[in-house]
Chain A
Amino acid sequence: MAATGGSISGSSGPLRREVQVTNPQGLHVRPAAAFAELAARFESRVTVSKDGQNVDGKFWPDLLLLAAEQGSKLIIEVDGPDAEPALEALCKVLAEFQDDDRINEPN
C-alpha cells in the first residue's frame, strides 16, 4: 500500500489519509490482522473505509468486509489523543506488509 494523499486534519478532529492497496493479493487476512493488531495498540479509534463502507480498523475480520483488491483506495481515519503517530504507523504497516513468497498462500 502507498499513501496517495496527505493528512487532512484539524487541530482536534480525526486525521484521515487515503491509501491505495498495492499488495497483489489485496487486503487479505494476514495484512488485515497485522493492521488491526497495530491499530489496537493505540488509544485512538481507527476506522477504515472503502466506497463509503466503514469498518472498525481494530478488528481484522471486519476489514475483510472491504474485499479490498490491489488498486483499491482505502481511507484510514484515526481519532484520539495518539492519532498522529497511529496514522503514521498504520500507513507504514500497510505499505510494508509483504506476502511471504516461501509460503505462497493467499491469506
Chain B
Amino acid sequence: MARMSEFVVRDAILTDLKETTKEGVIREMVESLQKAGYFSDTPTEDIVRSVLRREQLGSTGIGRNIAIPHAKHAGTDRLVGTVALSKAGVPFDSIDGQNVHVLVLLISPQDRPGDHLRALENVVRFMRNEQFVNELRQSQSQDEVWQLLQK
C-alpha cells in the first residue's frame, strides 16, 4: 500500500470530531464508517469495544498528536479505515503524552496481517512528514483530506 487513499474510506473522513474522549472519538469514527456503508450489519458497540480493548493493551498514540486505533473484524474482507481530525485534541495516553488531533482508524480482516503491517507502515511514514501533517490538520473538508491522501 503506497497511499493512504488505498484503504481510507473517503465518505467516512471526519474533519471536525465532536467528541473529546478516546471512547467518544472512536465511536464517532466507527459510526462514520457505518454511515459510509461499512459494517452496517454489525452493532456499533461491537467494533468500538474491540478497538478499546486493543487500546487497553497499550495506546496506539504514536506521538506528535497522531494515533492509529485499530482492531480486527470478521465483517470485512479487506482492510478499511478512516481519518478524523479533532480541533480540541483528545487525551490518548500517547507515547509523548500529547493530546491527539489526527486519528487513523484501521479495521482489518482476521487473516491479513501483512496488509495491517503495510497500512501501519504507510500511516507512520506519512505522519513523519511535518508538512503533510500540518496540511492535514488544516483541512476543512473530506475533499481536502482526500486530495492529501492521494499524494
Residues of A within 8 A of B (CB): 24-30, 33, 59-62, 64-70, 100, 103-107
Contact = CB atoms under 8 A, between A and B. Distances in A.
Most buried by B among A25, A61, A70: A61
Contacts of B43: none
B54 interface: yes
A97 B126 CA distance: 28
Contact of B70 (A100, A104, A106): A106
Interface of A is mostly: loop
B116 A103 contact: no
Interface in B58-87: 58, 60, 62-63, 68, 70-72
A66 B63 CA distance: 18
B124 A61 contact: yes
Interface of B: 50, 53-54, 57-58, 60, 62-63, 68, 70-72, 95, 108, 113-114, 116-118, 120-121, 124-125
B121 A29 contact: no
B121 A105 contact: no
B113 A106 contact: yes
A66 B121 contact: yes
Contact of B57 (A65, A67, A70, A100): A100
Given A65-B124, A70-B113, 4 more contacts: A61-B124, A64-B120, A105-B54, A106-B116
Most buried by B among A33, A67, A104: A67
Nearest to A66: B121
6 contacts: A28-B113, A28-B116, A28-B120, A61-B124, A62-B124, A105-B54
